[in-house]
Structures are given as C-alpha cells and as structure tokens.
A and B are shown apart, each in its own frame.
Chain A
Amino acid sequence: MDMNALRNFMDKIKPYFEKGGKLEKLHSVYDGFETFLFVPTTTAPKYGSHIHDPVDTKRTMSTVIVALVPALLFGMYNVGYQHYLAIGQDVNFWTEFLFGFLAVLPYIVVSYAVGLGIEFIGAQIKGEEIQEGFLVTGFLIPLIIPINTPLWMVAVATAFAVIFAKEVFGGTGMNIFNVALVARAFLFFGYPTHMSGDSVWIRTGTALGFGGGNVVDAFSGATPLGQIATASTSVPHITDTFGHSLGFWDGFVGLIPGSVGETSIIAIMLGAFVLLITEVASWKTMLSVFFGGALMGIVFNLFGPDTAAAHFPWYNHLVFGGFAFGAVFMATDPVTSARTEKGKWIYGLLIGCLAIIIRVLNPGYAEGMMLAILLMNIFAPLIDFYVVDANVKKRISRAQKSIQ
C-alpha cells in the first residue's frame, strides 16, 4: 500500500469520525492516527505569530524512535546470542535474532497496549486530542528492563508511570520525571528480585515456545557492574558468562548481559548520530554527561576507597551498564532536562558525576544511572531558574554601568 492509497483510505473513513458521524466518539483516536501518519495540512492563519516548520512533536518523537531502532535490533540479537550461549547450543545468526525478537516483542506489545490504552481512555474522558508522548516512552520501557521481567509487572509499572508520572502533572510535556525511568524505578523498588542479581539478565527459558534448553555448567549470568558491586577483592576484574575476562572493547560492542537495549555502545552511537544531526537532542547535555562520568571515574581511580568499584577504570564506567544509553536517550529528554544552554552543561555534568558516585559508593546499587537522572530531573527547573537569574543580574549591572 503506497502513501496515496493510505491517504485515500484515511480520507474515506474521515466522515465517520466527524461531528454527527457514527464513530464521533472516537474522533481523537482518528485524529491521533492521522497526524501520526501525515503532517497536518492545516496552515497558519493570516494573523498572529507563525511557525514555519512542519517538525511538530510527533515528528520529533518519530525521530527518537528511529534513533532507538539500532539499540533495539542489537538488543534482540544479544538476547538470542546470550540465550544460546547459556544453553551451549551453536546456532546461526538468524536463529539467535529470531529468539531475541520473540523474547522482546511481548514487552513492546504490553508496554504500548497499556500506555496507549490509558492515554486513549484519558483523552476520551477529557474530550481532548490524544497526546503523542507515549510513542517514545513505550519504546524505551522494553529497552531498559531485564529480559526475564514478568509481563504483568511491566504492565503494572507502565500504568503507574503513565498515570502518576505524566497524567497527574497534565500530560505530555508537563511531566517532571522521565516517564520510562519512573516505570523502571517502580520495578526496581517494587520487585527488586526481578531487577537485579545474577539470574534476571539472560533468558534461559523459552521465548513464546521457541528455544530453551538446559543451562551449561560454569555459567554465571551476572552483569559486569553486578560483578564489580559484589566483588570480594578490590581488583576490578570482570568476566563474561563463562569466566573469560572482559575489557573496554567488549563493553563497546555489547555482547554482554544487561538490560535489553543498553549493552552496545555502537548501536547507541548510531542513535546518538541520528539525534544530533536532526538536532532533536542537545549535544551539550550528551557530552557533559560523559564528561561528568569520566571526571568522577578518574577522581575515584586516583583518590577513591580501596574497592573494586573505585578501581574500575573510568573509561570502563562509560561503556558498561546503562551509562551511555541514559546519556543519549534519557538525559537529553527535552521535557525533563534543563532548557537553558548553560543549564544543560550543569545538568549533564551532575548526572554523570552522580551516576558514578552511586555506582562506586553504594554497593546496594550496582547501576546509578537511573537514580542519577531521576534525581537531576527534580533539579532541572532550579538550575534553569538560577541560570536565567544570573543572566538577568548580569544585564542589569551592565545597564547600570552604561548609565553612569
């Protein structure tokens, strides 16, 4: 079906959804789909201020989705790769990918069904247009959870996050916290045994009846950061699931256990590239998160306590765990991050520093990125306030000098 056929179809069914039509009540649903597929044809009136740009919120959201695709595809492959590694079967690339696809697909379906369901119901009750904000959130949630999370937990967490982190604040664009991270935090604190430890990161059972087998001996499913947090010595030695040493480049490629989309820096860099050339995400925020993380990592390497986490090389901190994923896709969320240019530097820098501080100093939390971003979400408006305030004061004093 080409675009014209789709356009004709949408035009044909349009009367049903207009006032007086049979499906009048579902008007906002129709409108939501139409504007998702096509740039609205309405043009600005002859008076008032005009914005000459067809890049509306839905186009921005679609760009983020495109940017997330590499991480999703790699995540699917890695889920299958880790599965067949764990059960000791040698299979080809497509079998591995198919397993991962079947394992990840239910999470995407559940996340979108629950989230969009709540948005649709909310929009119908309030008689408003459907807000597009959940498009990205629904895509992010499956990427930031372990592959063994029960589906009902994902459904509950998604519902909680959409209602309490977004709708009560006034919907898309009004939320204080990153909605996907709130869903993850809900899972993390609500069901800790399913969100951390050695047995949640690799699917050893079947995916929709596909795959499955007995786990081979000498297998351990701990993530690199998990190993660091529970290390019995102060040597930061990390291994893969069969005890082979891991280094920087293993983290960079990403064939290691972890949340679905977070492991591969290459895939995340592809996403970052898309976000930066389309100017959807701020390069200042992204860069300063990495800078803050590196800075704090170096400080701990040089002056930190005598623990494995503090001795973990600073460059490894940046490629293992959810650091890079958080820096590229979460910290840059235009709604919850700082909006002033100077503020973006401060905001990103503090996220990077805090994430590493939590990782190193709190062995209870092997990964600090989620908590660091959620914490800085609260402070983003304060940072902006003082940046603006400082600018106002500077200009006032300059004005006073010019009068004298």
Chain B
Amino acid sequence: MSTLLSKKSRQVLLGPLSKNNPITIQVLGICSALAVTAKLEPALVMGISVTIIVAFSNIIVSLVRNTIPNRIRIIVQLVVVAALVTIVSEILKAFAYDVSVQLSVYVGLIITNCILMGRLEAFAMSNSPWESFLDGLGNGFGYAIILIIVSFFRELFGSGTLLGYNIIPQSFFNVGYMNNGLMMMPPMALILVACIIWVHRAKNKELQEK
C-alpha cells in the first residue's frame, strides 16, 4: 500500500482538495461553477464528468508527452480533451438525458475549462502517467467538492429541495417561509464561493495573502 501511494503521490492526490484547490485557491473554472450549481444533481454530474476527463486526459497527455513537438502541444492537448469530452457528452445523452439537457452547453465547454489546460500544462507534461492520473483525480474532486457545497446551499435555500426531494417541510411555507429567488441567480454562486474562500482562509492562516 505504501508503494501504491507514496508521500508525494498522496500530496498530488489530496492537495487539490484543500490547500491547492482549483476553485478557491487557483480561482479556475469559476464560469461553470456559476452556471451549473443552481441544482445539486447537475453539479454532481458536472463534477464527475470533469474529474473523469481531467484524470484521463492527464494520463494520455503524460504518456505521449515526450513525443509531442513543443510548438503544437496545445493543439494535441485540445484534441485529447475534445475526444474525451465528446465521449462523456454522448454517454450523458444516452444514459442521463435530463441532466445533459440541464447542463446544456457546459459539458461541451469543459474543453475550455481552465482547470483542464492548467493541469495538462503544469503537471501532465512533466510527470509520469500514474502521478498525472492522481493529479487529475485530485483536481477533479477539488472542483467537484466546491460545486457540491455551492449547489447544496443554492438548491436548499433557492428551491427548498435537494436532488429534487423536498427538504424544507410544507409547514414552514405555511407560516410564511419563502424560497430565496436570489439563490437561483448566478451572482449568489459567486457570493457562496466567496464565503467558502472566507471560511477556508480563516481556518488556514498560511493561505491568507498579506
């Protein structure tokens, strides 16, 4: 087990979950974090899709990294990502059509997700396939966690549901409680991400900029 996950590998896998989180620390992938987090379900699917695509494109690019001419490396990376995105998109359309409709263009736009190009350029181009895979998984999970937290609060307070099930009891609504319409608007996702960053940095003092 210790050989399977060396200290460095563990760092590569778990770092992006907190201290090197792609959204809250590197501030990448914000656009899709705003767009797909009104409900928990699309956010979950988006998180899983991005995780799979980052992990496997990291492996593929890492495998061919020594044969890619430097001047066309971005194009090669894009081809790899586009192929994977197309596969994931087709699978979603076949097996989870409703969710793929909700995600609409944002599945296709994973190609332009800054996290992907960031990981390929910064990690996969200079590391072994196994470590690149772990790095992809870690960053995908780090992205997914933030999406899940944001969409949890947005769906709970914006629609009163979670994964489509009613959570806030009808008796609350009877005495005057109302869902907050602001939660369904993208600006609230930005404010929630800011709150996560606030809590995160308050707990990890070394992350605070001077």
Contacts and interface: CB of A to CB of B under 8 A. Distances in A.
A379 interface: no
A189 B180 CA distance: 8
Contacts of B183: 190
Contacts of A16: none
B185 interface: yes
Contacts of A150: 176, 178
Interface in A125-164: 150, 152-153, 164
Contacts of A190: 180-183
B185 A189 contact: yes
Q: How large is the interface on A (under 10, 10 to 19, 20 to 34, 35 or more residues)?
A: 10 to 19
Interface in B168-190: 176-178, 180-183, 185
Interface residues of B, number: 10
A189 B178 contact: no
A365 interface: no
Contacts of A186: 182
B191 interface: yes
A186 B181 CA distance: 9
Contact of B180 (A164, A168, A191): A191
A164 B182 CA distance: 14
A153 B181 contact: no
Contact of B182 (A168, A189, A193, A194): A189
A192 B181 contact: yes
Contacts of B181: 189-192
Interface of A: 150, 152-153, 164, 168, 186, 189-194
Given A150-B178, A189-B181, 8 more contacts: A150-B176, A164-B191, A189-B182, A190-B180, A190-B181, A190-B182, A191-B178, A194-B178
21 contacts: A150-B176, A150-B178, A152-B176, A152-B177, A153-B178, A164-B191, A168-B198, A186-B182, A189-B181, A189-B182, A189-B185, A190-B180, A190-B181, A190-B182, A190-B183, A191-B178, A191-B180, A191-B181, A192-B181, A193-B178, A194-B178
